[in-house]
Copies of this chain bind each other. A is one copy, B any other.
Amino acid sequence: MTTNTTHHNETEIVADPNVPTIVLTREFDAPPELVFRAYTEPELVSQWLGPRRLTMHIDEFDARTGGSYRYRHVDADGSEYAFRGVFHEVRPHDRIVQTFTFEGMPEGVSLEKAIFEDLGGRTRVTTTSVVDRVEDRDAMIASGMETGIRESFEQLDELLDELLEELA
């Protein structure tokens, strides 16, 4: 995929000084139905989730209430970073609530809630991640998640453009 320069949607990342949350807000130039598909269909998820330099391998991605997921990001020298969790609730076009663990730190777990808002053909996605200690939240931010998130969302912009073209 080539970088699409027509998008100017900004990713807002807010870390509350007291509460151990990370709140991401991002708008997409596609309707909630399509953005929701990109978040839940594994063959679409694999095309955007993760930093550009890593290859995504999905082992399991059952995005239904009660389903589980596991995927790995693999870098050029073969190092793997695996992530897993369960879907507490998947409510079509509206919300996804899931748990999230980086298997390299198996004691760490976050609860992630993505809300999809219809802006009239466009979509605002607000994702709130919470852990039980401010230090753990700060470690997540220090891990370089911001680059991964921005690149993921740019790749999602590109995927949504392709899907919109296919549907046009």
* Contact surface of A with B, Cβ cutoff 8 Å: 18-21, 66, 68, 85-89, 97, 99, 101, 106, 109-111, 113, 128, 130-134
- So how many copies of this chain end up in the complex? 2
Cβ-defined contact, B89 with A88, below 8 A: no
Cβ-defined contact, B89 with A66, below 8 A: no
Residue of B19, B85, B97, B106 near A18 (CB, 8 A) is B19
13 contacts between A and B (CB under 8 A): A19-B19, A19-B134, A66-B68, A86-B86, A86-B87, A86-B99, A88-B99, A88-B101, A89-B101, A99-B111, A111-B132, A128-B132, A130-B130
Task: Give Cα distance in the complex from A67 to B105, angstroms.
Answer: 21
Contacts beyond the supplied A19-B19, A97-B99, A97-B109: 20 A-B pairs with Cβ under 8 Å = A18-B18, A20-B130, A21-B132, A66-B68, A85-B88, A88-B99, A88-B101, A89-B101, A89-B106, A89-B109, A99-B99, A99-B111, A109-B113, A111-B111, A111-B130, A113-B132, A128-B132, A130-B130, A130-B131, A130-B132
